Amino acid sequence: MKQKVSPGSVSVVLLGAALLFACGSGGTPSAAPSDSTLTGMVLGAPFSGADVLLVHPEQWKSAGAGSSAILISDTPNLCAQITSGQTTAPGRLVIVRLEQRDANAAITALTSGTFTTTGEGTPSSRYGDVSVSGVDAQCGFSKDFTDQVSIEVTAAGADGTSATVDLNAHFSQGGSLMGGVTASVPCDQTAVDDYLNRNPKCG
């Protein structure tokens, strides 16, 4: 059973204005500053966030349509990787999954509150979890999931395009993550759904 750990000094801040090599609505990368301090040890190696997106998958097999996911890579040009279908190797991708439901169990935009690994899909729930996947230099694929995690959404845009999240994650293989990221939202949604539903293909 997963246990909640107390939040550390970890902030994943998602704002609609800044993203390193962010993508526009059509998925075309554009240079923009990023303030990423997300760091830790995952899949046996140090991790430092280089690029980040906030997306709302519509056909992701791991989440309900319209839920939220924060995608954080340790390689640049994440949206370009997604739209091309080619992952930079070696590299890792951290996914912070957030799913908030109303009293009728319908998925809604994120609001402030604690997100836990229990109650997924139930009315008035706030479900959240973190996973990491990676490819080595030969495109060998690996993945890890949390055994302890604390996620606190401290602020969120009414339209679902921004959120401020405190994150403390420990993984089953012994790694952990903490840090801060400032990012904007967009990347082509069809490409995002396809990317999340398959193992990486290396470019």
Average pLDDT over every residue of 22-44: 57
In a domain, 6, yes or no: no
Q: Pick the more confident residue, 193 or 16.
A: 193
**In 43-118, at which residue ranges do the beta strands (DSSP E only) sit?**
45-48, 51-55, 68-73, 91-101, 107-108, 113-115
Answer whether 187's CB lies under 8 Å from 45's CB.
no
In a domain, 97, yes or no: yes
In a domain, 202, yes or no: no
In the DSSP assignment, the letter for residue 34 is -
Condensed to tens digits (0 to 9), the pLDDT of residues 80-112 reads 999 999 999 999 999 999 999 999 999 999 898
In a domain, 118, yes or no: yes
In a domain, 4, yes or no: no
Q: Which pair of tokens denotes residue 15?
A: 């704002």
In a domain, 2, yes or no: no
Answer whether 100's CB lies under 8 Å from 121's CB.
no
Answer whether 203's CB lies under 8 Å from 88's CB.
yes
Average pLDDT over every residue of 67-76: 90
Average pLDDT over every residue of 144-153: 92
Per the structure, the complete domain to which residue 116 belongs is given by 12-196
Kindly report the pTM of this predicted structure: 0.81
pLDDT of residue 183: 56
In a domain, 201, yes or no: no
Among 144, 74, 130, CA closest to 99: 130
Answer whether 179's CB lies under 8 Å from 38's CB.
yes
CA distances from 46 to 74, 140, 164, 185 (A): 10, 18, 24, 25
Q: Distance between the two ends of the chain, CA-based, in angstroms?
A: 37
Question: Does the pLDDT of residue 167 top 90, yes or no?
Answer: no
Number of folded domains that form the chain: 1
